[in-house]
Amino acid sequence: MGVVQPLPPNAPSRIGDYTLLAALGRGAMGSVYLARSRGGRPIAVKVARAELADNPQFRERFRREVEMARAVGGFWTATVVDADPDADRPWMATEYIPGPSLQQAVQDHGPLPERAVRRLAGGLAEALVAIHGAGLVHRDLKPSNVLLADDGPRVIDFGIARALEHSALTEAGIVFGTPGYLSPEQVVGHQITTQSDVFALGSVLVYAATGGGPFGEGATSALVYRVVHQEPDLTRVPPGLVPLIVPCLVREPANRPTPARLLEAIGPPSAEPSWLPERVRTMVEQRHTELGNLPAKPPTRVLVDDPPPKPPTLVAPTPAPVPTRTPSPKAAPVRIEPERKEVRPTGVRFKTSRMVGLSWAGANVLAAVVTASIADPAAGAPGAVRLAAFLAFLAFAVAGVRLLVGAARSPLTLDVGPDGITLSNGTESRRLPWYAIARVKVEAHHARPWLMVWLVPAARTPATLGRGSFTQHKGGLRVYPISHERYRKRRDRDVVELRSALAWYGSAAYDPR
């Protein structure tokens, strides 16, 4: 679990029947505390964020996931012992594992020896057998969710990932998961199955054996691109582990081994008394000592409500020149670490206008009425004048009808920001993350310029939101009509500002030609 720290002043003294003793950190779900049961058993209690507690969908998902998580049996998981989905702040209690995370152990003391990695693989595979047998998919298996205990590894936070889906966090455009450990199908939005956890298992084993993930380091956009398009880097993996890891990292989920097949390939564990290297065993012993030195109850404190914690963060793409429309500062790249505070750019927004379309339609209809009156033989105009007026009437009438039809459609809103391109019609929205975009440009087609996007091969084409959005054109997709209903000067200005926003937020995919 996390490093034991004093309780913050705003922490409650009790959660359910458990007395809080110390803080263990914060995660995607909320705060994590070390507590003690009435009988003296150490417990880890996870308390939901305030914004999640106000979401009825989260509560219902949390309730179902807790029920399934309680059914997880077998070794190598932190057992769920209690929960209250109906509390003001929903919470879940699991057994406390007094050991460091795999991430902390590798960061402090370097990669594990081959024997320990093989034992780790067996423990994680057996944990996945139990988790999948209960009807769960972990979805966020990573080094920080693997704890190292005396007798083997433990997997934590199973069941939370599904509960967080479609919460206020993910609806705000935040991807739940950790870049570099997400499977290709998670990156491109395809169906997530138990085999997605097997891909993450392979990535975790690479980290344990080398100290780095199979797809390197860097910004989120770069990592997820490598996951989908590049082969994993296994050059530093010990040769004896390569045959075990390679099948886990196959792109096609159906071709990956099941956790049960992995257990067969790993074979029985070694008979050595301790599976951890000496320096990591010392870390485990320190956690046991910390646990024994904790007081039976925390000191008396004045209780106040928890402030709203910060949701998981994403890394913005590497920026290019600042767009003229957005004065907000650039967000520096950060890792996905809930403890850090970050101000995310708001992005640049463009809208089609129904009122402008109606105004132009009215002007054309008025012009059609005037020219029709001139073309009327009763007006007494010369024949040539009446013919010219009739042709003008046809042109104004057609333009007026087209503008009226366009104005009757739902307006579109385009947002270009650090997470990608989002298009909305007021009732539905479609988001194209930067890692799903191979190329993006503004195509100036006479007086009707379009935002054009070419997706990576694995990405699916979104359904249209009207006004010609997401229609095929020149091998790509027309996404957004840029100010078609506005006068030319305004249209040219919007084109310039949109180009600038694309260069700023999507520099890796932007085609300025």
Q: pLDDT tens for the chain, 513 residues: list them.
A: 556 778 877 788 889 889 998 888 876 677 889 999 988 889 999 888 877 877 888 888 788 878 877 878 666 888 888 989 888 888 988 888 888 899 999 999 999 999 999 999 999 999 999 888 888 888 889 998 899 988 889 998 765 545 444 443 333 333 445 678 889 998 887 888 999 999 999 999 999 999 999 998 887 778 888 888 889 999 999 999 999 999 999 989 999 999 999 999 888 877 677 889 989 988 888 887 777 666 655 544 433 334 444 443 333 344 444 444 444 343 333 333 333 333 333 467 888 865 555 666 677 788 888 888 888 888 778 888 888 888 888 888 887 777 666 655 678 899 988 778 999 988 888 989 888 899 999 987 666 899 999 998 877 889 998 878 899 988 899 999 888 767 777 787 788 778 877 877 787 788 887
- What is the model's pLDDT at position 349? 85
Q: So what's the pLDDT on residue 2?
A: 58
Residue 484 pLDDT: 77
Element (H, E) at 24: strand 18-26
How far is the C-alpha of 158 from the C-alpha of 431, rounded, in Å?
A: 27
Q: In what order do the strands lie in the sheet with 348-351?
A: 348-351, 413-417, 420-424, 429-433
Which of left, alpha, beta for 2 (phi over 0: left; psi -120 to 50: alpha)?
beta
CA atoms within 13 A on the CB side of 363: 6
Can 306 be counted among the known catalytic residues?
A: no
DSSP of 455-511, one letter per residue? Answer: E-TTSPPPPP-STTTTEEETTEEEEEE-STTS-HHHHHHHHHHHHHHHHHH-TTTB-
User: In terms of Cα–Cα distance, which of 452, 73, 476, 508 is closest to 316?
Assistant: 508
> Residue 82 forms beta bridges with which residues?
93
pLDDT at 7: 82
- Comparing CA positions, the residue from 19, 169, 29, 151 lying closest to residue 85 is 29
Instruction: Out of 17, 82, 84, 140, pick the active-site residue.
Output: 140
Nearest to 209 by CA among 238, 181, 235: 238
Q: Decide: pTM greater than 0.75.
A: no
